């Protein structure tokens, strides 16, 4: 059984690849990357695959039994066709199963919604592909917050527009565990899973970080407009608007969803506190 992972050099792709390798062996995992050189460290066969190229995926998916399609990073209107290239190439190569990393979030009413909608369109395309399929809707991962700790500590606060909204954070490592099971076990056929952990507020997040990192962060809620302006100044129009939309979604409850993690993984999701402790040890 050969399983291929797209965008394998990315942080999510690598986290999944490493767990899959330890479950089924190096010789059975094929990495696909836009820039193959960036994935050499994984020590597996790497093939070239840019989502813009159907031709590259027609080659990359030769002899593959199952493929994990990791959602792209481009503007939402571009992603749909990019993902269709992978689905088409999977069909052309008689790949049996496709697993897709989708996203939890509001389909309308915030600046992140176009991204969520494009993910929903790919979900439909996958369901209509005629291949066996499994879809994970990923929660927000906690790692970017933990990588940002120095800035939080300097400012003494976590500041965003999520207010009292609860967010079911997960981590790339937890997602890696779930997708490894979803790729290798038949029982997940034709299921859509919310891959999320414990629902916490930003105040709880600050408290957990304080407990593990010995910081004194407080949570400071700001308005949606103020946060959007701040993020655009820091990250530019495209990413700044998306990030503000994500926190607006958390504020409105879009990330407070029930979890299917245990069904997908045959074990409970780790607590947010445990994930933060594990991250500190690993970094």
Ligand X SMILES: NC(=O)c1ccc[n+]([C@@H]2O[C@H](COP(=O)([O-])OP(=O)(O)OC[C@H]3O[C@@H](n4cnc5c(N)ncnc54)[C@H](OP(=O)(O)O)[C@@H]3O)[C@@H](O)[C@H]2O)c1
Residue with tokens 């105040």: 203
The tokens describing 150, both together, are 């120095």
Nearest to 173 by CA among 5, 2, 4, 15: 15
DSSP secondary structure letter of residue 141: B
What burial letters (b/e) apply to 105-120, b meaning 16+ CB within 10 Å?
bbeeebbbbbbbbbbb
Nearest to 46 by CA among 61, 56, 36, 58: 36
What is the closest distance, in whole angstroms, from the C-beta atom of residue 264 to ligand X in the complex? 15
**Candidate segments 68-76, 185-193, 201-209, 250-258, binder of ligand X by CB under 6 A:** 68-76
Q: Nearer Cβ to ligand X, position 50 or 230?
A: 50
User: In the β-sheet with 191-195, what is the strand arrangement from edge to edge?
Assistant: 45-48, 29-33, 3-5, 66-70, 97-103, 132-138, 191-195
What mask of x and - would describe binding to ligand X in positions 46 to 65, judged by CB under 6 A?
Answer: ----xxx-------------
Q: Nearer Cβ to ligand X, position 100 or 227?
A: 100
Q: Is 9 in the site for ligand X (CB under 6 A)?
A: yes
Q: Is 181 in the site for ligand X (CB under 6 A)?
A: no
Q: Is 70 in the site for ligand X (CB under 6 A)?
A: yes
- Assess contact for 63 and 47: CB atoms under 8 A: no
What is the closest distance, in whole angstroms, from the C-beta atom of residue 194 to ligand X in the complex? 12
**Candidate segments 45-53, 176-184, 221-229, 230-238, binder of ligand X by CB under 6 A:** 45-53
Residue nearest to ligand X according to CB distances in the complex: 10
List of residues contacting ligand X (CB under 6 A): 7, 9-13, 34-35, 38, 50-52, 70-73, 82, 103, 138, 140-141
């Amino acid at each position: 059984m050969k399983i291929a992972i797209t965008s394998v050099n990315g942080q999510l792709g690598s986290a999944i690849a490493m767990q899959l390798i330890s479950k089924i062996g190096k010789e059975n995992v094929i990495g696909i990357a836009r820039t193959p050189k960036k994935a050499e460290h994984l020590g597996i066969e790497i093939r070239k695959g840019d989502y813009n190229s159907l031709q590259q995926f027609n080659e990359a998916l030769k002899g593959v039994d199952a493929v994990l399609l990791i959602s792209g990073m481009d503007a939402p209107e571009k992603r749909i066709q990019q993902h269709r290239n992978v689905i088409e190439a999977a069909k052309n190569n008689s790949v049996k199963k496709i697993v897709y990393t989708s996203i939890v979030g509001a389909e309308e009413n915030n600046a992140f919604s176009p991204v969520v909608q494009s993910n929903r369109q790919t979900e439909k395309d996958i369901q209509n592909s005629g291949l066996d399929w499994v879809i994970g809707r990923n929660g927000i991962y906690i790692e970017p917050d933990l990588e940002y700790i120095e800035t939080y500590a300097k400012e003494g606060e976590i500041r965003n527009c999520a207010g009292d909204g609860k967010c079911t954070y997960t981590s790339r490592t937890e997602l890696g565990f779930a997708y490894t099971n979803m790729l290798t076990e038949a029982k997940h056929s034709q299921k859509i899973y919310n891959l999320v952990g414990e629902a916490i507020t930003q105040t709880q997040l600050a408290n957990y970080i304080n407990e593990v990192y010995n910081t004194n962060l407080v949570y400071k809620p700001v308005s949606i407009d103020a946060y959007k302006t701040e993020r655009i100044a820091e990250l530019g129009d495209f990413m700044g608007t998306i990030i503000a939309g994500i926190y607006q979604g958390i504020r409105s409850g879009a990330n407070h969803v029930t979890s299917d993690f245990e069904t997908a993984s045959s074990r409970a999701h780790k607590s947010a506190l445990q994930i933060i402790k594990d991250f500190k040890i690993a970094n």
